[in-house]
Amino acid sequence: MSCHITTAICPGSFDPVTLGHLDIISRASKIFSRIIVAVPVNPDKRYSFTVEERIDMLSKVTKAAGLFNVECDRVEGLLADYAREKGAAVVVKGLRALTDFEYEFQQALTNKKLNPSLETIFLSTSAEHMFLSSSMVKQVAGFGGDISHFVPGCILDTISERLCSRR
């Protein structure tokens, strides 16, 4: 069995970053020598935070967590092409439920067809984060709920200022 330095990409919208995202990124950083957290530019989708804001939040979160082999970047175009450009061999995706798997499996097969050297691995979400999604954080925040148990503390104020309703 050979072992070599491997770059992996953790792609996602991260709108906003949750503790579930941080869990997957952190665990991936222990497996691979270099992690690129990739935020896609998708003009067809409506986000609460800009690409630059999401990258900034991810950088703060990963730095605060001591993940020094993690970098954050934007992706314009296809992930398969981006991976080739960055020399990445692996895409890491977190799975919460069977419904996540169906979509992610389709994406993995598409990426493999576009870039045959690119592998996808799936990490199951830790039990304490299985219910957590960016959409759920936005919904709770929108109704003025406490999101401090769902997002990293170092970006809580940034997220709250944008998402929490002013009642």
Tokens linked to 123: 């990490």
Beta bridge partners of 34: 7
- The verdict on whether 96 is a catalytic residue reads yes
- The verdict on whether 162 is a catalytic residue reads no
Set 34, 86, 96, 112: catalytic member: 96
- The verdict on whether 21 is a catalytic residue reads yes
Q: Are 36 and 71 in contact (CB under 8 A)?
A: yes
Cα separation, 167 vs 7, whole angstroms:
45
Set 13, 26, 29, 134: catalytic member: 134
Set 13, 21, 54, 129: catalytic member: 21
Q: Are 125 and 46 in contact (CB under 8 A)?
A: no
- The verdict on whether 46 is a catalytic residue reads no
Question: DSSP class of residue 128?
Answer: G
Say which residue the tokens 């703060």 belong to. Answer: 60
Set 4, 30, 45, 149: catalytic member: 45
Catalytic residues: 21, 45, 96, 134
